[in-house]
Structure 1
Amino acid sequence: MTANPRTLHIAAWDDRFLAWLLDILLVGIALSALGEAAGVFSLLTGSLSATTPFTGLNGLGLFVYWTVLEGRQGQSAGKMVMNIAVTDERGDAIDYGTAAIESFGKAFLLPIDILVGWLAYEKEGLRLFNKLSSTIVIETDEAETGKPSDVEYVYPDER
């Protein structure tokens, strides 16, 4: 007897791009503010510009940000806004090590990560480092209802 297969909806590239953009803006603003306050930002990384979001302190900041949030809950702030999440290939939560592998490509090697993904894994919707970490990016159930589909909430008034 086989169980019904779990249905996972792979996130669209445009949702993933918007989540990424929100994340780099958020981390870039935070690093810029911290760097300016400390007076060392430009000394360590050069200027914060659209051409260098993957180098120096910016890349390291993004790597740590994505590794921690996606390893903990599968979602960065950008992914939460876009109702998408990183999971393993079965749709289950990933750990910090897996998140680190998955995050490395988008923090430091995004052009190569995306290009190889589009050329080699186009139908699967994967970046190279998704493939290397055995992860996928899926739409979350919260997008439609605001609540997970497999959870029933019992409120104090209903007991």
Structure 2
Amino acid sequence: MARPRTIHIASWDDRFLAWLVDVLLVGAVLSGLGEVAGVFSLVTGSLSVTTPFAGLNGLALFAYWTVLEGRQGQSAGKMVMDIAVRDERGDLIDYGTAAIESFGKAFLLPLDCLIGWLAYEEEGLRLFNRLSSTIVVEVDEEETARPDDVEYVYPSEK
């Protein structure tokens, strides 16, 4: 019989710091795009071009998390904190699951967290983790280790 898989659930502290990194990163990109649009609007004489960027934060974060977490299970913030979103078995999730999981933190974070803390405190889940059947886990060192059957040759060794 196979030994059960051990999965370490990520702490709320690590999850918060990953979220903060993501929000700052996406905010900086949107701010930069807003500045470019602002310069463009001054040249064309229309100042209304910059106003849509103020309302795009939630949409940009939703798209950012859905794409990155659906592709590899990690956003930039999660990479920094060595955590990842997985299904309940610890496997990678797909884009549809990532979209459900991301919706709560992009658009309803206070409610998402509050319900999660009250209803799923023991499990460490947000509401939308529960709805999407996902968990946030510490990245296993074996997962990021080099494969045994691959030899890397670096430019300095040629």
What is the TM-score with the length of structure 2 in the denominator? 0.85
SS in structure 2 at match of 1:63: helix
Distance 2:123 2:145 in 1: 25
Task: Tell me, yes or no, if structure 1 residue 44 matches structure 2 residue 52.
Answer: yes
1:127 corresponds in structure 2 to 126
Distance 2:110 2:149 in 1: 43
Task: Tell me, yes or no, if structure 1 residue 152 matches structure 2 residue 151.
Answer: no
Larger radius of gyration: 2
SS in structure 2 at match of 1:78: helix
Greater helix content: 2
> Residues 153 and 80 of structure 1: is their aligned pair in 2 closer, same or farther, counting only changes over 3 Å?
farther
> Residues 85 and 156 of structure 1: is their aligned pair in 2 closer, same or farther, counting only changes over 3 Å?
closer
1:90 corresponds in structure 2 to 89
Q: Percent identity at matched positions?
A: 73
Deviations 1:98-151 (A, max 9, x none): 000000000000000000000000000000000000000000023xx79338x4
2:2 corresponds in structure 1 to 3
In the TM superposition, residue 152 of structure 1 has moved relative to its aligned partner by 2.1
Aligned length: 143
Query: CA contact under 8 A between 2:9 and 2:124: conserved in structure 1?
Result: yes
SS in structure 1 at match of 2:111: helix
In the TM superposition, residue 45 of structure 1 has moved relative to its aligned partner by 4.6
* Aligned AA (2:151): Y
Distance 1:156 1:120 in 2: 48
Unpaired stretches in structure 1, ≥5 consecutive residues: 47-55
Segments of 4+ in structure 1 off by > 4 A? none
In the TM superposition, residue 10 of structure 1 has moved relative to its aligned partner by 0.1
RMSD: 1.8
1:71 corresponds in structure 2 to 70
What is the TM-score with the length of structure 1 in the denominator? 0.84
In the TM superposition, residue 26 of structure 1 has moved relative to its aligned partner by 0.0
Distance 2:132 2:124 in 1: 14
